[in-house]
Amino acid sequence: MKTAFAIGAHPDDIEFQTAGTLLLLKKAGYEIHYMNVANGNCGSVEYDRATAARIRLKEGKAAARILGAHFHAPLCNDLEIIYDLKTLRRLSAVIREVKPSIVLTHSPQDYMEDHTNTCRLVVSAAFTHGMPNFKSQPSRTPYGGEVTLYHWMPHSSLDPLRRAVVAGAYVNTASVHATKRAALAAHQSQQGWLDASQGMNSYLQAMETMSLNVGKASRRFKHAEGFRRHLHFGYSANEIDPFAEALGKNYYINKAYEKSLKLGF
């Protein structure tokens, strides 16, 4: 079974940026998995931490069901996603259990540390997938085979210094947009929190706008999700792009981005 694993920082990150692609991979025959590293306990101005965490766990599980994805429990509280050995060992154990060949996660540049630290942890944990001398916690058997990492776009396609981040490739998500929206709508508690903390009005409309903007940037699709592919060293023997095979006409490589890359020897 081919397997794809989306790993975000908080409940609803996956739905905003990569749920459409996850759905298309499922249609292409992939078993899909879903994990938020943090439990969302700080994402409320209405509930205390414990109550917020319980609500957001329930919402995350509901969203995963809508997507048809296997749900994996969070590891820590919000703002406690730290790039440390303990968390790396725990995340490595989850990845070894799932055995993904495709891993989807945050951009290395984003507006908050939980996102960037999740990215760093996922990159390292996936790197250890076949390393018997790196011990996960709990102990899990390493697995062989090739792994490809894709980084979804940062919020608003900007880095923390307000510079534009350009996608290396685009995925046409129009055919699954309604399901993506339904999965995001499962996170009902986020309406009030995002209104209060980020002035996003409807969080559903915010996703809609992002989806349309990425589609516009592709110059090809109405609704789209953008990605940059991680360098293959340590993950596969050769440079591979499994999105191309799995997604077919719904996948468009940004030739200008590829041309801009400064390739080594």
Is the model's pLDDT at 151 over the cut of 90? yes
Specify the number of domains making up the chain.
Answer: 1
pLDDT in tens, 95-130: 999 999 999 999 999 999 999 999 999 999 999 999
Is the model's pLDDT at 93 over the cut of 90? yes
Helix (H) / strand (E) containing 124 = helix 113-127
Give the model's pLDDT for residue 197: 59
Examine residue 200 and state whether it is found in any structural domain, yes or no: yes
Tokens of 89: 């060992």
Tokens 């929206």 locate to 181
Cα end-to-end span (Å), the chain: 34
Give the model's pLDDT for residue 202: 80
Is the model's pLDDT at 198 over the cut of 80? no
Give the model's pLDDT for residue 264: 56
CATH of residue 64: 3.40.50.10320
- Reduced to 3 DSSP states, what percent helix, strand and coil does the chain have, rounded to the nearest 5? 45, 15, 40
Scored b (16 or more CB within 10 A) or e, 169-190 reads bbbbbeebbebbbbbbbbbebb
Inter-CA distances, 72 with 13, 94, 115, 195, Å: 14, 8, 18, 28
Examine residue 265 and state whether it is found in any structural domain, yes or no: no
Inter-CA distances, 157 with 56, 73, 117, Å: 25, 28, 18
Distance CA 238, CA 265 (A): 14
pLDDT band of 235, cuts 50, 70, 90? very high
Count other Cβ atoms within 10 Å, centred on residue 199: 8
Give the model's pLDDT for residue 262: 72
Give the model's pLDDT for residue 252: 98
Give the model's pLDDT for residue 178: 97
Examine residue 93 and state whether it is found in any structural domain, yes or no: yes
Examine residue 7 and state whether it is found in any structural domain, yes or no: yes
Tokens of 42: 């700080």
Distance CA 8, CA 18 (A): 9
**Taking a C-beta distance cutoff of 8 angstroms, is the pair 103, 149 a contact?**
yes
Range of the domain at 223: 3-260
Query: Which residues are bridge partners to 7 per DSSP?
Result: 35, 105
pLDDT in tens, 173-187: 999 999 999 999 999
Distance CA 67, CA 32 (A): 9
pTM of the model: 0.95
Give the model's pLDDT for residue 244: 98
**Taking a C-beta distance cutoff of 8 angstroms, is the pair 90, 76 a contact?**
no
Q: What percent of the chain has pLDDT over 90?
A: 88
* Cα angle 69, 73, 74; round to 5: 120
Give the model's pLDDT for residue 44: 82
Give the model's pLDDT for residue 1: 78
Query: Which residues are bridge partners to 253 per DSSP?
Result: 169
DSSP letters for 225-257: EEEEEPP-TTT-SS---HHHHHHGGGEEE-HHH
Distance CA 31, CA 23 (A): 10
Give the model's pLDDT for residue 46: 84
